[in-house]
Structure formats: C-alpha cells, structure tokens
Chain A
Amino acid sequence: MTEQPVAPATAPEKSPAGKVSLFEVFLTFLVIGAVSFGGGVVAYLRNSLVSQKKWLDEEEFLAALEISQALPGLNATNMSVIVGDRLRGPLGSIVGFVGMTLPGGLLILVLGIAYVSNNHNSYVNAALAGVGAASVGLLASVTLQIGHKQLEHLLDIAIVLVTIVMVSVFHISLVIVLLTVGPVAIFLYRPHKDRVHAADRTGLDKKPAD
C-alpha cells in the first residue's frame, strides 16, 4: 500500500479549480447531510466526494473511511471532519461537520419538540412504534451486510458471540467490554515476526454510516 501523504492544510488533495472554497465544502456536506437516510451516508459520501467533486480518489476515500471506522464516533461526522481538514484545515473540519449535521439536526429538533408536546397522542405513538419495529429490521440488515465476513472465521465468531453475551445477556457496561474484549481481540491478532502481513482491506466496512 502506497504512502498516503497528508496534503498541506491550505491545499486541496485534488481539484481542477485549485483551492476549494469553504463555502463549497460546507455546501457539499450540507447536501450529503440533507439527503442521506437510514445509515447509508457512506454511499452518499463516496458518490459525492469521489465521483462528482473528485476531491478524493478511491484510495484516499478508503483511507479516510478506515480512520473513521477505527475511531469512536459516527462515520458520517468523522468523515466530514477528516475530509474537511484535508481540504481546508481546521476551518474545513468545522464547516464540513456543521454542513453534515445541520439539516438533520434542525429537523430532529423540530420533530423532538413536536414529540415532547404530543407524546401521549396515540397516533404519534403508533407511528413511532411502527418506525421502531422497522428500525430493528434495518439495523439487522446493516449489521449482517457488514458482518457476514466475520462469520467465516471461528476466532471472529467467538469474539462476536462473547461480545453479544456480555452486553445483551449480562448487561456489562460498554466501558468494561471495550477494555476487556478489545485488548484480547487485538492480542489474538497481534503481529507475528515469522509472518508477512498482507494488507487486508476486505473488512474495511466495519460499521454502518450512521
């Protein structure tokens, strides 16, 4: 895998027009934030940043996605921060993040105010009960799409099952789960001096774009 140089903070990775304006960064992420639904933000990000704007090539996009997925937080907001920074430095991060979260944030605030004011309304509760049930199907679908590769190795299956049991059966705090299963899993996949590590990108889509 080739080295991924970090572009100077004031220069874009790639843009025929030269410097990308802050307004263009904001507007691009605003549109992505306004049209993506149901955890499909990664597809919108790729389509916009790679295919349309050509601010990143496929390799650069995957590298940024890899960072987003390895860290806490949501892919969508992590990506807006990372790409915004590469295009226009810290200000780019801020306007990218605000663009990504503004449309949904405003709408959810309006919906939230309406909900809090009407949370005894039987129609509202019935509709949201339907949405809640549908969300279970949505989450299960996303999890299985991302995770089916993990069901091909016994060690991975064991880690998955231990994690599920700890959280869902014993209700152990996420802090404890991360601090115990995390290091153990990393240790089990520790580098071996006698083995050559081929770069494994097949499992890059580790988490949904939520």
Chain B
Amino acid sequence: MSDHTDLNILGVFSLLSILAVGGGTAVLPEMKALTVDVHHWLSDDQFRNIYGLGQLAPGPNMLMVIVIGYHVAGFVGAALAFVGFFAPASIIAWGTSRIWNHFEGSPWRLSVQRGFAPLVIGLMTAGTISIARTAITGWIPVVFAVVVFCVLYFRHRVNPALMILAAAIAGVFLLR
C-alpha cells in the first residue's frame, strides 16, 4: 500500500494547491476534510497541532504540509507533500504572470477580481472556523483566541510571532 499512499499524498496536496484561490487559510477546510475525514491520516487534534507547528516556523505558514507528509510516509511523504502543494500553484503563477499584461485592458479582469474578493473573505472565514473547531475546546482557549485577536487587530505593530510563542508557553501552564 506504500505506493498508493505516496500517490495519494501527491494527489491530495496537488489538488489543494490548485484549489488555494484565496491562499492557505481558504484551503484549510478542504485540507482537513481530506487528511482527517477521507484518508484518516490525522486525528482532529493532530491536524490542529501540526497547523500550530506551522505558525512557529517563519515564511509561508502552509509549510506545515511537510509535517503532514512526513507523519504519513516519512521523508518521501514530506517531499511529496511539499512538491504537491507548492509546485502546481507556482507553475501557474509563473505562466500567468507572463501573460497577465495581455489582459490589461479587459474589463473582465476587473470583474474577476471584484467577484472573487468576497468569495475569498468567505473562504478565509471558513478556514478560521475549521481551525477554531479543533482548537477551541474549552474556555481557556477562547480567552487565548480573543486576547490574540484583540492585540493583533487593534495593535497592528505587535509581532504575531510573539503572541504565538506566548500562547505556547501559557498553554504549557494552563492547558495540561
């Protein structure tokens, strides 16, 4: 079954790559559905924890797909998840950027942008909800989420990494 698992990893993350219109947050519900409910590679808690690991690393936070791949099928799985998630979208971006200016004058380009804007916000909200469903397991996590939201939303200059690290430390004391 190893070959099937490897191909499934590549297939799942390639699909997610193409679907990630609106970015990584927008694709979280689908990622969770595929990795937890369909393929049973992860439990809910593991999905939340691996997502949290992604917040601890710099750069694109969807690099956590590497951990999912590694968890399922070791280093080969890690490589396949990474290539699967990043290669299709990157190739599309590379190709499209070279022809984007040909559509400069088309009124439809503006329609696409304006139509997709609320769709993306809806998808990002749904992505936030999917993480909340696994992460909010009592009152203390609610307090964490609300405090982080208020600090980041109303005090833009606070580095999110500090909030994440503080939450990890507080979690050790309050969530064991």
Query: A residues touching B (Cβ–Cβ < 8 Å)?
Result: 1, 3-6, 32-41, 63-64, 66-78, 81-82, 85-86, 90, 93, 97, 100-101, 103-105, 107-109, 111-113, 115-116, 119, 122-147, 149-150, 155-157, 159-164, 167-168, 171, 173-175, 177-178, 181-182, 185-191, 197, 199-200, 203, 206-208, 210
Give A130's nearest chain B residue, CB to CB: B171
Partner of B116, one of A155, A182, A199: A182
Given contacts A130-B169, A189-B115, are A136 and B17 in contact (CB under 8 A)?
Answer: no
- Asked if B124 is an interface residue, CB under 8 A from chain A, the answer is yes
Q: Are A72 and B20 neighbours in the complex by a CB distance under 8 Å?
A: yes
Query: B residues touching A (Cβ–Cβ < 8 Å)?
Result: 15, 17-27, 29-30, 33, 45-46, 48-64, 66-67, 70-71, 78, 82, 86, 88-90, 92-94, 96-98, 100-101, 104, 107-108, 110-132, 134-137, 140-142, 144-153, 156, 159-161, 163-164, 166-172, 174-176
Q: Are B145 and A134 neighbours in the complex by a CB distance under 8 Å?
A: yes
Q: What A residues does B22 contact at CB under 8 A?
A: 206-207
Q: What A residues does B26 contact at CB under 8 A?
A: 174, 207
Partner of B52, one of A75, A93, A97, A131: A131
Q: Which of B58, B108, B110, B175 has the most CB of A within 10 A?
A: B58
Partner of A78, one of B89, B136, B152: B89
In whole angstroms, how far apart are the Cα atoms of A6 and B89 in the complex? 20
Q: What B residues does A135 contact at CB under 8 A?
A: 51-52, 55, 131, 135, 164
Q: Are A101 and B86 neighbours in the complex by a CB distance under 8 Å?
A: yes
Q: Which of A140, A144, A146, A186 has the most CB of B within 10 A?
A: A140
Q: Which of A4, A41, A64, A127 has the most CB of B within 10 A?
A: A127
Other A-B pairs beyond A119-B49, A159-B119, 5, CB < 8 Å: A6-B98, A109-B78, A111-B57, A112-B53, A138-B164
Given contacts A129-B48, A191-B107, A208-B25, are A3 and B101 in contact (CB under 8 A)?
Answer: yes
Task: List 6 A-B pairs, Cβ < 8 Å.
Answer: A38-B61, A82-B94, A115-B49, A125-B45, A189-B111, A200-B113
Q: Are B97 and A189 neighbours in the complex by a CB distance under 8 Å?
A: no
Q: Are B67 and A147 neighbours in the complex by a CB distance under 8 Å?
A: no
Q: What B residues does A126 contact at CB under 8 A?
A: 171-172, 174-176
Given contacts A97-B86, A132-B51, are A109 and B70 in contact (CB under 8 A)?
Answer: yes
Shortest distance from the beta carbon of A54 to any chain B beta carbon, whole Å: 20
In whole angstroms, how far apart are the Cα atoms of A67 and B25 in the complex? 18
Q: Are A81 and B94 neighbours in the complex by a CB distance under 8 Å?
A: yes
Partner of B159, one of A37, A199, A208: A37
Given contacts A70-B116, A90-B94, are A210 and B25 in contact (CB under 8 A)?
Answer: yes
Given contacts A67-B96, A116-B71, are A147 and B160 in contact (CB under 8 A)?
Answer: no
Q: What B residues does A132 contact at CB under 8 A?
A: 48-49, 51-52, 131, 134-135, 141
Q: Are B125 and A143 neighbours in the complex by a CB distance under 8 Å?
A: yes
Give B154's nearest chain A residue, CB to CB: A141
Q: Are B125 and A147 neighbours in the complex by a CB distance under 8 Å?
A: yes
In whole angstroms, how far apart are the Cα atoms of A5 and B107 in the complex? 19
Q: Which of B18, B33, B145, B150 has the most CB of A within 10 A?
A: B145
Q: Are A134 and B167 neighbours in the complex by a CB distance under 8 Å?
A: yes
Q: What A residues does B164 contact at CB under 8 A?
A: 37-38, 131, 134-135, 138
